[in-house]
């Protein structure tokens, strides 16, 4: 797992232990984000976890087309002028992504309470374009009882470009027959999932000038340990352990809000 509050230079030079799950975890952290190397000398540890940096987002990435849970298209470039909180996830995850979404929902709530929804966009982008259609995204978000943040997907090509740029390229992992028999059925379809998507977990902030400004890695630790009942029942044993026994290395809502408060100059309370 990635250790928190490391400088980006240390991220590039360090070896990270892999998180184990069944025979292989879909959240192995085998790759490190790769911001523009010119930003490394300016990378500093954030007090509440994560790393501050200044690294420009490429025009190619800014121009990629995504669609949200309503089927509406957007680009990251089209959000220029706002701070953007981004996390990666997939709706079929049985390990940690439901906790990521729980955190992003809280972040969106706190941004809204601070009156900053017009200045800060909260966006989750999938690593699983095959299953994460607009309809699936909408159904997943509905489990959380709010719609004040964005869930997004795109073509496989676009998502590969996006996640390759950020250094967390996903990889499909087919389940063994043993895993298929052991893991809970899908929360929406009631059918057995046949694969997961390996990816490193990250949350980051892009500034209004389209620079990558903050990053944290590792599993998410929720605020209260609660999930929508359907998604809690969908977690496998590894997922329940991550939910109930967070570690100091996990990223937190507090860390994201602290970074946003510092970057925007406006206090966003937890």
Task: Give the lowest-confidence range in 8-12, 45-49, 91-95.
Answer: 8-12
Any domain includes 58: yes
Q: What is the pLDDT of residue 27?
A: 59
Any domain includes 73: yes
pTM: 0.88
Residue 191: which domain range? 8-264
**CATH number assigned to the domain comprising residue 62:** 3.40.30.10
Q: What is the pLDDT of residue 7?
A: 36
Any domain includes 1: no
Across 61-69, average pLDDT: 98
pLDDT tens, position by position, 12-59: 333 232 222 233 445 554 455 555 554 455 789 999 999 999 999 999
Any domain includes 270: no
For β-strands 120-126 and 150-153, DSSP reports them as parallel
- 12/213: higher pLDDT: 213
Any domain includes 3: no
Share of the chain above pLDDT 90, in %: 83
Position 133 pLDDT exceeds 50: yes
Any domain includes 269: no
Number of domains into which the chain is organized: 1
Q: What is the pLDDT of residue 1?
A: 28
pLDDT tens, position by position, 215-246: 999 999 999 999 999 999 999 999 999 999 99
Indicate the average pLDDT of the chain: 88
DSSP assignment string, the chain:
-PPTT--HHHHHH---PPPP-TTS-TT---------GGGGGG-EE-TTSSEEEEEEPPHHHHT--EEETTS-EE-SGGGTTSEEEEEEE-TT-SSSHHHHHHHHHHHHHHHHHTT-TTTEEEEEEES-TTT--HHHHHHHHHTTT--SSEEEE--HHHHHHHHHHTT---EEEEPPHHHHHHSPPPTTT-SPP-EEEE---EEEEE-TTSEEEEEEES-EE-SSS---HHHHHH--HHHHHHHHS--TTSEEHHHHHHHHHHHHTS----
Q: What is the pLDDT of residue 43?
A: 85
Alpha-carbon gap, residue 134 to 146, rounded angstroms: 16
Per-residue confidence at 195, pLDDT binned at 50, 70, 90? very high
Q: What is the pLDDT of residue 15?
A: 29
What phi and psi, each to the nearest 5 degrees, are found at residue 176? -75, 165
pLDDT tens, position by position, 247-269: 999 999 999 999 999 999 999 99
Any domain includes 162: yes
Per-residue confidence at 5, pLDDT binned at 50, 70, 90? very low
Any domain includes 175: yes
């Amino acid at each position: 797992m990635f250790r928190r509050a490391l400088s980006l230079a240390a991220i590039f030079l360090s070896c990270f232990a892999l998180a184990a799950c069944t025979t292989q975890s879909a959240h192995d952290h085998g790759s490190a984000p790769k911001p523009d190397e010119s930003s490394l000398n300016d990378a500093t540890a954030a007090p509440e976890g994560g790393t501050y940096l200044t690294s420009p987002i490429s025009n190619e990435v800014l121009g990629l087309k995504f669609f949200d849970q309503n089927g509406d298209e957007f680009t990251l470039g089209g959000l220029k002028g706002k701070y953007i909180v981004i996390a990666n996830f997939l709706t079929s995850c049985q390990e940690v992504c439901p906790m990521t979404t729980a955190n992003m929902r809280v972040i969106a709530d706190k941004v809204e309470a601070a009156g900053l929804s017009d200045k800060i966009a909260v966006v989750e982008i999938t690593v699983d374009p095959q299953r994460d259609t607009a309809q699936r995204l909408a159904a997943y978000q509905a489990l959380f009882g709010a719609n004040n943040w964005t869930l997004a997907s795109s073509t496989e090509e676009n998502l590969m470009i996006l996640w390759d740029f950020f250094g967390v390229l996903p990889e499909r992992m087919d389940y063994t027959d043993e895993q298929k028999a052991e893991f809970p059925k899908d929360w929406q379809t009631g059918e057995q999932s046949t694969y997961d998507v390996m990816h490193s977990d990250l949350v980051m902030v892009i500034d209004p000038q389209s620079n990558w400004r903050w990053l944290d890695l590792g599993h998410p630790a929720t605020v209260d340990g609660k999930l929508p009942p359907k998604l809690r029942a969908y977690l496998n044993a590894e997922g329940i352990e991550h939910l109930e026994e967070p570690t100091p290395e996990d990223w937190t809502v507090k860390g994201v809000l602290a970074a946003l408060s510092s970057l925007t100059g406006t206090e966003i309370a937890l």
